[in-house]
Amino acid sequence: MHHMLHIKNGIVIDPKNGIKAEKMDIFVKEGKIVEESEIDKSQCKVIDASNKLVVAGGVDMHAHIAGSKINTGRTMRPEEMRMVRQIANKFRATVGRVLLTSPAIGYEYAKMGYTTSFEAAQPPIGALHTHEELDAIPMVDKAALPVFGNWHFVLKYVAEKDIEKLKTFIAWAIERTKGFGVKVVNPGGVEAWMYGKNCRNLDDEVPNFGITPREIITSLIKATEELNLCHSVHLHCNNLGNPGNFETTIETMKLANGFSNDKRQVLHVTHVQFNAYAGSSWRDVGSGAAEIAKYVNSVDNITIDMGAAIFGHATAMTGDAPFQFTLHKLLNARWSNKDSEIEGGAGIVPLMYLPKNPVHALQWAIGLELGLLIDSDKVVLTTDFPNGGPFTEYPYVMAMLMSKKMREKELEKVSPFVQKAANLPSIETEKSLEEVIHMTRDLPARILGLENKGHLGVGADADIAIYNLNPNEIDASNDYELINKAFRNALYTIKGGTIIVKDGQLVEEVWGTTYWVDATKNVDMKAIEDDLNEYFDLYYSIEKENYGVEEAWIKNPTRLVMG
Amino acid sequence: MLIIKPKVDFVVSVEAEITPDIADDLEKAKNFEVYYGKDKVKLEDLFEITKEGDDKKLVLDGDFSKVKWIGCRMEDGEIVVKGNVGANCGAYMKGGKIIIEGNADDWLGAEMSGGEIIVKGNAKNCIGCAYYGDMQGMKGGKITIEGNAINYIGEKMAGGEIEIKGNAGDFIGTEMTNGLIVIHGDCGFVGGDMKGGEIRIGGKFELMPTFKKSEEGFVGDINVGGKGVVKTL
């Protein structure tokens, strides 16, 4: 039910519109934020937000919330499903410790004041499954990023240096999978994994294609920019999870040199915590976060997200199949390997971050270092759910970024290895509330190219969170517990103008939209038709005609036409 | 001591996590919440409860084969079941004693870390095992079964002792890392992926080809670099 809303006397922080903790009113009509003159005050519901923080709904730009990976994780981790979160009442029953069931994902985001979440790695052939699961997640707007970096068509066109065909293929693939952008996972490395190998360096050759990760990444950036997609290439770097990999990460970032875009970055490097290790082995491993931060701060065409590690249970799930095998061997943990035909693969490994484990403590520290050392306009707060831990711990990360005192207290509980291997103990930076709001709202929205998300300007979607915090009174560096608590349970979460959470409790179920990008306008599909027919004939287990997802099959789709 | 008798024949399972902790107070025991199917009810709705003396003991008199989770997480005291008992009896148990005069069901003493369980009749599957997905099964204490048991005995067992005086089925001590399993009768496959601990068998059994014969007995499972021992009693 859409109400007209008048959110009265709230203390608004809206970085995109330059509003820094000002007392002001917000007006909502038909799911959008409008001018005061547009609403009829006699019919409007008034929310008294006096002395409360009013911000845009949170935007999670990188989480694994739907599709075959999280579902395989659920299947192989029955122990995750013993935690009952909610028995069926007006809302659906939910279970799950970290690997939540689909409705639990929507509900938990809503309780935290988050209203948008993107599935960050969709195996293209599993697109239908992914969309069916996204359709089972209530409360939030969503989308999925199909993975391109090891898809044989991509490798073929990169080898042929045919950017036009690559562009056409990307447009075809995003349309067919109803995807949102170009996700790249360990480019070339997963193809090499088909032969038991990996591509750990940018110049390792991809078997049978005579190309390198360097060429794949550069070509995909070029194609994405020429297609002018709303989101840039979203890259999971090569050499993930290995000591010394921060150098590979910086080398990779340099591939964006020479590309620029007025509206956004040209390369988003994701869950950088897993790609920011110094040293040469697990014995002398250290933090490479400072070097990465230095590079990211020096350029204006790259953004990253943290991929922070949270102590406790997690499940590693990524399209980076060779890394998952390494992790399985390292941890002696369960392992599932997935193959998505000629598109790539994936792996799933359960894990747990222990504070007393030197490596885990280092990972925890590196995630936070990235958040602290990198300019708030370039780093998004994520845990790469469920790889670094549950998204329900975002408030913990927010509080940690804002309080040196809290970090000192937490550092006492972790392995002393961190003291020598990481920079965290010596970092004095405390992010402001405004910066943390920026890192969780308008920055991810800008990176994704969603103009109506992450801010409270007129015309924006009425996705609003109100928290029990007065920004003008709170001293975040001392009152970190209040910050941590307030962001866990929103006083109000408003999604598209509907109040869905009140006092941290669900009050109404709504169904968000699924965004998908249509970039087919400026390409000629005929250019790749023969190749598609040939590959589907020779290599795919299904017919081309049966491949993909029709818009009508999605519950509530929104098509974004690129042109 | 409390004497607890079922009032009716149960149509669906009862989930009653009762331990000797409720023995000291009759009112507390009567109001103890249990599930009857999907309904939450009080213990006294399903059982007749009487108190005799002050010792920390429960006597379950009657057929409890549809009553699950008896003695779950118990730490001390004693439970005597004068009949059959349902699944998950003594799960996660830390101490105390459970005596079952009839038969036990599946998941007897699953993931227990201390205490003692004695079954005078037979038991079923997954005795002293890890629940699905968990890394360790039984870690301490002792389970004795006077009769027979079925499959999966001591899976992922990490300590303690299981003794079966009759026969058992397949998959004994799978992924076991420590502890002792003794089977006086016959059984099927033994010790798959066993890393440590010891299995002693009185009768016939089948061994994987991944065990090496040595002076101690058969050592393996070499597939996982295991140093478990399987030998005859």
A505-549: per-residue pLDDT in tens?
A: 999 999 999 999 999 998 999 999 999 999 999 999 999 999 999
State which residue of chain B sits closest to A333, comparing Cα positions: B135
Question: Considering only CA atoms, which of B46, B65, B57, B37 is closest in space to residue B6?
Answer: B46
Determine, for residues A80 and B132 on separate chains, whether the beta-carbon distance falls below 8 Å. Answer: no
State which residue of chain A sits closest to B133, comparing Cα positions: A79
A389–chain B nearest CA distance, Å: 18
- B131, B132, B177, B193: best to mutate for the A interface, most A CBs within 10 A: B132
| Amino acid code (one letter) for B20 | P
Assess whether pLDDT exceeds 70 at residue A2: no
Q: What is residue A473's predicted lDDT score, i.e. its pLDDT?
A: 93
Distance from C-alpha of A14 to C-alpha of A299, rounded to nearest angstrom: 25
Distance from C-alpha of A175 to C-alpha of A442, rounded to nearest angstrom: 26
Tell me if the bond preceding B221 is cis, omega within 30° of 0. yes
A241 touches A326 (CB < 8 A): yes
Determine, for residues B134 and A79 on separate chains, whether the beta-carbon distance falls below 8 Å. Answer: yes
pLDDT by residue (tens digit) across A187-219? 999 999 999 999 999 999 999 999 999 999 999
Distance from C-alpha of B134 to C-alpha of B132, rounded to nearest angstrom: 6
A279 touches A243 (CB < 8 A): yes
pLDDT by residue (tens digit) across A446-456? 999 999 999 99
Report residues of chain B scoring pLDDT below 50: none
A79–chain B nearest CA distance, Å: 5
> Which of the pair, B38 or A393, is modelled with greater confidence?
A393
Tokens of A336: 């599932």
Q: Which chain A residues are within 8 Å of B133, Cβ to Cβ?
A: 76-80
B164 touches B180 (CB < 8 A): no
Number of domains in chain B: 1
Q: Which chain A residues are within 8 Å of B175, Cβ to Cβ?
A: none
Q: Which chain A residues are within 8 Å of B69, Cβ to Cβ?
A: none
Q: Please count the other Cβ atoms lying within 10 Å of the Cβ belonging to residue A470.
A: 15
Q: Which chain B residues are within 8 Å of A76, Cβ to Cβ?
A: 133
Q: Does some domain include residue B55?
A: no
Tokens of B194: 């066993």
Q: Does some domain include residue B22?
A: no
Alpha carbons within 13 A on the beta-carbon side of A499: 17
Q: Which helix (H) or strand (E) holds A365?
A: helix A358-373
State which residue of chain B sits closest to A88, comparing Cα positions: B38
Q: What is residue B57's predicted lDDT score, i.e. its pLDDT?
A: 96
Q: Does some domain include residue A464?
A: yes
Contacts of B180 (CB under 8 A, 6+ apart): B160, B161, B162, B197, B198, B199, B200
Tokens of B181: 């399993």
At A332, the pLDDT band (50, 70, 90 cuts) reads confident
Distance from C-alpha of A282 to C-alpha of A278, rounded to nearest angstrom: 10
In the predicted model, what is the mean pLDDT of residues A358-384?
Answer: 97
CATH number of the domain where residue A46 is located: 2.30.40.10
Determine, for residues A77 and B131 on separate chains, whether the beta-carbon distance falls below 8 Å. Answer: no
Q: Does some domain include residue A492?
A: yes
State which residue of chain B sits closest to A76, comparing Cα positions: B133
A334–chain B nearest CA distance, Å: 9
Q: What is residue B38's predicted lDDT score, i.e. its pLDDT?
A: 86
Q: Which chain B residues are within 8 Å of A80, Cβ to Cβ?
A: 133
Tokens of A540: 């795919």
How many interchain CB pairs under 8 A, A with B?
11
In the predicted model, what is the mean pLDDT of residues A320-328?
Answer: 93
- A82, A87, A349: best to mutate for the B interface, most B CBs within 10 A: A82
A251–chain B nearest CA distance, Å: 40
At A3, the pLDDT band (50, 70, 90 cuts) reads confident
Q: Which helix (H) or strand (E) holds B59?
A: strand B57-61
Q: Which chain B residues are within 8 Å of A79, Cβ to Cβ?
A: 131-134
B79 touches B99 (CB < 8 A): yes
Distance from C-alpha of B141 to C-alpha of B113, rounded to nearest angstrom: 6
State which residue of chain A sits closest to B224, comparing Cα positions: A332
A399–chain B nearest CA distance, Å: 32
B133–chain A nearest CA distance, Å: 5
Interface of B with A (CB under 8 A): 131-134
Helix, strand, coil shares, percent, chain A, to 5: 40, 25, 40
Assess whether pLDDT exceeds 60 at residue A1: no
Distance from C-alpha of A283 to C-alpha of A299, rounded to nearest angstrom: 32
Q: How far apart are the first and last CA of chain B?
A: 40
Distance from C-alpha of B33 to C-alpha of B35, rounded to nearest angstrom: 7
Q: Please count the other Cβ atoms lying within 10 Å of the Cβ belonging to residue A97.
A: 17
Q: Which helix (H) or strand (E) holds A440?
A: helix A433-440
State which residue of chain B sits closest to A87, comparing Cα positions: B38
Q: What range does the domain containing B219 cover?
A: 62-232
Closest Cβ–Cβ partner in A76, A79, A80 for B131: A79
Q: Which chain B residues are within 8 Å of A77, Cβ to Cβ?
A: 133
Q: Does some domain include residue B101?
A: yes
Q: Does some domain include residue B29?
A: no
Contacts of B125 (CB under 8 A, 6+ apart): B106, B107, B149, B150, B151, B152, B169
Q: Does some domain include residue B210?
A: yes
Q: Is B134 exposed, middle or buried (0-12, 13-18, 19+ CB in 10 A)?
A: middle
- A72, A77, A79, A83: best to mutate for the B interface, most B CBs within 10 A: A79
Distance from C-alpha of A437 to C-alpha of A434, rounded to nearest angstrom: 5
Assess whether pLDDT exceeds 90 at residue A89: no
In the predicted model, what is the mean pLDDT of residues A414-435?
Answer: 96
Q: Which residues pair with A127 in a beta bridge?
A: none
Q: Which chain B residues are within 8 Å of A78, Cβ to Cβ?
A: 131-133
Q: What is residue A70's predicted lDDT score, i.e. its pLDDT?
A: 94
CATH number of the domain where residue B176 is located: 2.160.20.60
Q: Does some domain include residue A468?
A: yes
Residue A469: strand, helix, or coil: coil
Instruction: Give residue for tokens 């297609």.
Output: A227
Helix (H), strand (E), coil (C) string for A411-424: HCCCCCHHHHHCCH
Q: What percent of chain A has pLDDT over 70?
A: 100
Determine, for residues B132 and A79 on separate chains, whether the beta-carbon distance falls below 8 Å. Answer: yes
Distance from C-alpha of A507 to C-alpha of A495, rounded to nearest angstrom: 12
CA A132 to chain CA centroid, Å, is: 19
B134–chain A nearest CA distance, Å: 6
A29 touches A4 (CB < 8 A): yes
Q: What range does the domain containing A478 cover?
A: 5-56+454-506
State which residue of chain A sits closest to B131, comparing Cα positions: A79
In the predicted model, what is the mean pLDDT of residues A352-379?
Answer: 96
B45–chain A nearest CA distance, Å: 23
Cα separation values, A212 from A156, A159, A170, A202, A321, Å: 12, 9, 19, 6, 18
Determine, for residues A80 and B131 on separate chains, whether the beta-carbon distance falls below 8 Å. Answer: no
Q: Does some domain include residue B51?
A: no
Instruction: Give residue for tokens 């249970």.
Output: A313
Q: Does some domain include residue B104?
A: yes
Q: Is A478 exposed, middle or buried (0-12, 13-18, 19+ CB in 10 A)?
A: exposed
Number of domains in chain A: 1
Q: Please count the other Cβ atoms lying within 10 Å of the Cβ belonging to residue A63.
A: 23
A139 touches A495 (CB < 8 A): yes
Determine, for residues A80 and B133 on separate chains, whether the beta-carbon distance falls below 8 Å. Answer: yes
Q: Which helix (H) or strand (E) holds A558?
A: strand A557-561
pLDDT by residue (tens digit) across A277-294? 999 999 999 999 999 999
Interface of A with B (CB under 8 A): 76-80, 82
Residue A512: strand, helix, or coil: coil
Angle at the Cα of A210 from the Cα atoms of A209 and A213, rounded to 5 degrees: 90
